[in-house]
Chains A and B, each alone.
Chain A
């Protein structure tokens, strides 16, 4: 059996978690998990990698759009529990999800936690072709030194604008991760605002 370059559930998951953690602690900065993604020979490998790191039989997930193979792999490899978006702890949005639901519909359906238990909320992993090259957007909030300018593609920017327009009462809210198929990742926690001053 060839074991070289096989995805390692201990060490590769640790590296991916570090990327997820750093991305969330430093919103707007691009982290990478490319070396780990290369080991997963599947479509939507970056989303799968995030799922392998966070999911198990104690957490539920929902895959939006037409990616049955991703849902199947997440279920079989992690024992994660498939659920409706209203109940899912982790929501995966592979490219093409727009055919099924709009951004607003998605944000209206996922769970946002409660004021006493805001951690019982969903984390969304959104697959984008790239994390730069779009219009300039200024972000402010904890984790950002003053303000940071990102150039997320219009679709990514739309997620941020829509989430802000929903005006979830903090501490309720959802975390957004933007992921490219190559393994670049950007985390935008619930308290990050588009524009504004600190």
Chain B
């Protein structure tokens, strides 16, 4: 029976998704009756059902969530194709949620609000529990929010979502994704970073500084259509006190030079703004490094000012400078605090504006571009695979060919045993198979434009980190519009080859553009771009 059912349902899937909800339910009844025994056992048929139908097959656990899905007209969406991750509160969690809101039944909720809640629990990428780290889940929910996972004291049996809901049953694989049962309805975080910090009683002085310098407005701005994420490194009252700062006035006396705190040129204003990093960087993001030396730069909200993030003795440090004997440590006891527009951590020292020395920067095309690292097949380990990303709009990688010929395209590729650096390349890929971006065209009218993130001003040698390919494209290279050497993509033995594009002096801390104009079209495979400081 079991065998038959599995076989049949696989075949029926396409047909199933075309059915209306009602016929789905009829269908479910047949299935549910047919394999009641199976569902009770460890090896259920859930992998052959879509999420909605599967949840409905377990009314004791999920009937209230199903009601919420139906109430908000999202039930059908859960039964069509996709690769969802659904955090599903069980009935106890839903009952508590209703009580908390003074509702006696699910239908008493405002429909729009309930819809937000359901969407907040659902992501468009499939994440098994093994994907959860100490930090952000690497995709946003259907409300555009980021969720955070955290580990308690019992390993995989103590994974919490948003520090409030425990995953009590994980990895329920269904045909259109995966469900994780949780013991509490997630509170939809709507508060801005500033509002969250204001609530943190260890950060009252820091909150006051944000307000008096006007950064509070910056952090409260939340454009619904273009939500920008930030990371705050908050300084606790204790840390300020240890530095002799007991009031805002002390802080102003210590840092302000022109006295107008809201002026972007005032050094107190800069001091405060320097504690805001661009982008949402949870602990998991802060502790991810592109290179072995475990150091990278991040942009702060103060224009042109960077901070370094590095790892030393298993700790995350900011602006670690051995010469100056100076570093800022992350307080892991108070980190990954969630807000609508980002995350805040607490640091163990004040963090005055610091100009990092030019340091080697390796921009890895795959892992350093969220549009690529968020792809469902990202690092799935399929050897020798090539997946088209023609449709993916990557902010920092542009590619244009005229005319666009058949077969031409840009793809995400993986290949085994390419992890060792080849000639001239110090870069080691952490994953095997290693991944890279492949550009292919037979045409010669076109270009590739690459825009690595901001680097500190200074003199650098610039390298293209390429992967060997059977066939070669030829380019005229440009760095910030300055003509570089002609580059001929050749065939090397193995590993990466770092191709020297010349030495450039960047007068400002800003972003740079590397442009490759085709002289001859063919295959071009790029892993990274590397900036090596020159003394």
Q: Do A and B come from one complex?
A: no
Q: Residues on A close to B: CB < 8 A?
A: none
**B-to-A contact residues, CB < 8 Å:** none
